[in-house]
Amino acid sequence: MTEKINIEVVYALPNEQTLLRQQVAAGTTVAEAIQASGILQKYPAIDLSTNKLGIFGKLTKGDAVLRDKDRIEIYRPLIADPKEVRRKRAEEGKVMKKGGGDA
């Protein structure tokens, strides 16, 4: 019998998040698990050749082998570069508030 591992595949849009739990054979790669999850049929905009992938927030490649309880994250491209947005705000003289409250 082939050993099975439990994994999750997640993808988030601004108004909708999808988390799919599944069991796959030990030795399955990130790309194979994404294909098997059915998420590509639900979200045809996902392109594994351009979307970045991660496991628990760390970037990974499609050929990485999964471990038990891994969570595969499919990232959307950034609409605006956060550094560029901050630079423009600074040019406009807007002050960005920092968290933490009173010291």
Q: What is the pLDDT of residue 78?
A: 72
Q: What is the mean pLDDT of residues 13-26?
A: 94
Which residues are registered as beta bridge partners of 5?
A: 24
Rounded to two decimals, the pTM is 0.74
- CATH match of 4-85 with 3.10.20.30: yes
Q: What is the mean pLDDT of residues 21-25?
A: 96
Q: What is the pLDDT of residue 96?
A: 53
Query: Domain segments of the chain: what residues?
Result: 4-85
Q: What is the pLDDT of residue 79?
A: 74
Structural tokens at position 8: 């999750």
Least confident of 27-36, 40-49, 55-64, 81-90: 81-90
Distance between CA atoms of residues 28 and 76, nearest Å: 23
